[in-house]
Structure 1
Amino acid sequence: MDHHPRILDNYLHTKHFLQLVNVPVFGKPFLYMKNHKAACTTVLATLMDNLIKARGDGGETIDMTSVHTPPKSLLLTGPRGLTMARVMEALADRQVFKFTVVREPVARTVSSFSDKIVKGEKQKAKLMRHLNRPIDDDITLSEFLDIMAQDQAARDIDRHWRSQRKEVSYDFINYDFVGDMADLNGALNLVVKTLFDVDRPVVQDTRRSLGHKSASAEMIEAMTPTDRRNIETAFGEDFDMYEDVRLRLAQAA
C-alpha cells in the first residue's frame, strides 16, 4: 500500500511518526496517536490497564517505563512493532477506531517548558546546543516563547513542544474521535466504553498512581501580553485546530 503522499511531511523522519502510533495486539482494533504533553501518559496507562483486564491474566504491570515503552504483548508502536504499510492500512480501515487527545496550546507549551526546560531534562540540552549556548544556562519562559515565535527549527527540536497539529496529523487522519484534555475523564470514558464495552470505565489517574505531575499554572498566570502573542505566533495552527475540536465536541454533545 502506498503511503499517504504528504503525511510524513509532518515528521522529522519515519521513525518519529511510527513512535506516535499505538495499535492493540488483540481486542477491538484501534489506533491512538500519541500527543506529548496532552495526557499521553494517562491515555496509555488507561489503554494498557483495560487491555490487561480484557485478557484476564494480569501478566503486565503499569509504571512510567512500561507506559512509554509498552510491552509488545499489549500495544505495538515504533519501527520495531509497526511498518508504514501496516499503519497506513489501519488508517484506511473504517473498522479501526482512530482517536487522539489535544490540549489548549498555551497550557501545553508552558507545561513543556516547566517539565523539560526548567527541570533541565535532555530536551533543554538539545535546545541550548541549537542556540549555541551552554546547556546549563538559565532560560526564562519569556525567552523560550520568543525563541519559539522566531525560530522554526527550535520549534521542531522536540515533540513535547512541537506543533500538536503536526504531531497528530490532524489534517491527514480521519479521526473517529478527538478528545480535549480539558475534559480528559469525559474523553477517556468515551474511548474506554467504545473499545472495551464496559458500563463503568476505569480511567488511570497517573498523577496519583505513577506520581506524574506538572506545575505550570503559576507560570501561565504570570505571562505577559508579549508572551501570549509569541505563543500565538509560534503555534497559530494549533489554536485553529483546538477551536475546531472544541466546536466539534460541542456539536456532538
Structure 2
Amino acid sequence: MADREGILSNYIHDRHFLQTVNMPRMGKPFIYMKNHKAACTTVLATLMAHLLDLQGEGTDGIDMETVHTPPKTLLRTGTRGLTVRRAMRALDNPDVFRFTIVREPVARTVSAYADKIYKAEKPKRMLMRYLGRPVDGEMSLSEFLDILAQDEGAREVDRHWWSQRKETSYDYIDFDFIGDTRDLKAALDHAMRQIFDVEASKFQDTRKTLGHKSHSRELMESLTTQDRANIETVFGPDLEMYEEVRKALEEVA
C-alpha cells in the first residue's frame, strides 16, 4: 500500500503533489510522476501524442502551453483533475503502470540555472526576492550553487532545482519503470510499449519541435571543483538515487 504520509511529506503542500501526478483520461491506466528538468516536456508531449492517437487526432495542437497545461480530455493532473485520495488509490492499483524519468543531478542542476536563472525567468525573480536582493541583479552559476549549498530554504523556492528524489517520491513509490534522460528515446519507447502496446513511441523531441533548449553544455564545462562539491552537498541523495537507477537499467539491458 502506498505510504500516504511518506509521499505527502515530500511536498510543500498537497497541490504540489497533485501537480506531479499525471494520469490518463482513456486507455490503459498509468501514472507518470513529472520531474522538472528531466525531459518532462518531451515525456508529456509524447504521452499526449499517443493519447491523441487513441482519439483519432493528430499532434498539430501540441505546443508549450498545452504540454504544461494538458487538456482535461487527455490527462488528469493537479487539483482540477485529481484528488489525493484518487492518486493514492491509483498508486496502490497493480494494474496501473507507474513510471518516471530522472536525470544525472549535476546536469539537471546546471540546466535549471541555465534555463531559469541565466534567462532571468520567474524562478529567478522568486529566488532573488527570497534572498532580499533586487530581482534584476546578476547571479553567476557558482553563486547559485553556493547559495543552494548554504541555504536549505533556497532549495525549495522553485521545483526546477528541487530534489528529484523528493519530486518523484522515489523512496515511497513502487515504480514499474524509471528511465534516464541519457537514453530518453529508449526509455520512452519502453514506457509507451507498456502503456499503448506499440513497437516504438511517437517520440516528441521538444528540443527540436518546440525550441526547448539552453546553453547548459557550455556551463557544464565551466564547473569548478567547489561547484561540484556544492552540488554534492545539496543533492547527495539524488546522486545516490541516480546511481541506483543506472545500475537497474544496466542489469536489464
- TM-score scaled by length of structure 1: 0.97
Task: Deviation per CA, 1:12-51: give whole Å up to 9, x if none.
Answer: 1000010010000000000000000000000000000011
Match of 2:7 in 1: 7
Match of 1:16 in 2: 16
Q: What's the secondary structure of 1:237's corresponding residue?
A: helix
Structure 1 position 201, deviation (Å):
2.4
Match of 1:222 in 2: 222
CA contact (8 A) 1:23 1:76 kept: yes
Match of 2:156 in 1: 156
Task: Deviation per CA, 1:178-203: give whole Å up to 9, x if none.
Answer: 00010001100001111111123221
* Structure 2 Cα separation of the partners of residues 59 and 113 of structure 1: 30
Structure 1 position 59, deviation (Å):
8.8
* Structure 2 Cα separation of the partners of residues 26 and 245 of structure 1: 29
Match of 1:231 in 2: 231
Match of 2:82 in 1: 82
**Displaced runs of 4 or more, over 3 A:** 57-60
* Structure 1 Cα separation of the partners of residues 250 and 94 of structure 2: 24
Q: What's the secondary structure of 2:170's corresponding residue?
A: coil
Structure 1 position 6, deviation (Å):
1.8
Residue type of the partner of 1:32? Y
* Structure 2 Cα separation of the partners of residues 24 and 86 of structure 1: 13
* Structure 2 Cα separation of the partners of residues 227 and 233 of structure 1: 10
* Structure 1 Cα separation of the partners of residues 106 and 30 of structure 2: 29
CA contact (8 A) 1:54 1:196 kept: no
Match of 1:205 in 2: 205
Q: What's the secondary structure of 1:98's corresponding residue?
A: strand
- TM-score scaled by length of structure 2: 0.97
Residue type of the partner of 2:227? D
* Structure 2 Cα separation of the partners of residues 143 and 90 of structure 1: 41
Residue type of the partner of 2:240? D
Alignment of 1:96-245 (within 5 A): 96-245=96-245
Provide the aligned length of Structure 1 versus Structure 2. Answer: 253
* Structure 2 Cα separation of the partners of residues 57 and 227 of structure 1: 47
Residue type of the partner of 1:90? A
CA contact (8 A) 1:3 1:85 kept: no
Give unpaired runs (5+ residues) of structure 2: none
Task: Deviation per CA, 1:183-235: give whole Å up to 9, x if none.
Answer: 00110000111111112322111111111112201111111000000000011
RMSD: 1.4
Q: What's the secondary structure of 1:6's corresponding residue?
A: helix
